[in-house]
Amino acid sequence: MAALGWLTPRRRSATARSVLAGEAAAEAARKSSQTIEALEAQDVTAPAVEPVFPVAGDERAAAFFDLDNTVMQGAAIFHFGRGLYKRKFFQRRELARFAWQQAWFRLAGVEDPEHMQDARDSALSIVKGHRVSELMSIGEEIYDEYMADRIWPGTRALAQAHLDAGQKVWLVTAAPVETATIIARRLGLTGALGTVAESVDGVYTGKLVGEPLHGPAKAEAVRALAAAEGLDLTRCAAYSDSHNDIPMLSLVGHPYAINPDTKLRKHARQLDWRLRDYRTGRKAAKVGIPAAAGVGALAGGTAAAVALHRRRR
């Protein structure tokens, strides 16, 4: 989806819609994090042969994880669509399209712009007129049915290392923020930045606030959240599989390429970023992974994002 110009984060400035999507996601994420219970810190003993990372007790540091193919195998929106089909939200024709998009994503290992846009448009049309609370309840069931078994253990360990160090951990994804928040809570993470769908009086309108949280919009969301939380981005970490997330990865002082696509792998090697591939078990070209890694509601948020959208109008 990303053009080659995105390889350097400032070559292509974020559009006004990207900024709006990022700010809406950040505001929704801060609201949602209040409903998620933090995991108790676990004692982690780091070997003396290398510096400890993440740094325990560094409250100005946090970690940002992409979701699809970084934390979870496949795309969350496709799994969600499968669950909605089971509950007769749409017909077999739409299911076939979701299935094809998911198969392509898993085989190619990269995001196709047309497939992802089509999936988002389909999802918006499907949920239009439904209550946010209804979809949140269904999302809990869908996570257990289709997503729980698709979490990458290696990436989960990386996230836990940051939690154990007393740092906040956020998902950053183009998936609906409601779905992302459910996943974050189930994994014991702090919260989630995701695409915000507009709702009025708790009912989806079929429109987005801004645009999908993708590419530059993700970077804007992370920047906005960091400012609100008082974080120092040079001390933060970000993890992703996609070259589309280079703007987000370039914001932080500790970028990681997880299960990287070809373009991201090349870019990461050029900049000496850390890499890790959990798809085959092969060692990355530069491991450099934290030692600790080896050890191991949103209705209110949506309403807040809509309020932000109205204020900006």
Q: Which residues are catalytic?
A: 66, 68
Helix 177-186 to helix 132-142 angle, to the nearest 10 degrees?
A: 40
Separation between Cα atoms, residue 308 and residue 297, nearest integer Å: 18
- The dihedrals phi and psi of 51, each to the nearest 5 degrees, come to -60, 150
Matching residue, tokens 């906005």: 224
Separation between Cα atoms, residue 254 and residue 61, nearest integer Å: 10
Separation between Cα atoms, residue 14 and residue 200, nearest integer Å: 27
**254-258 and 237-240 beta bridge pairing:** parallel
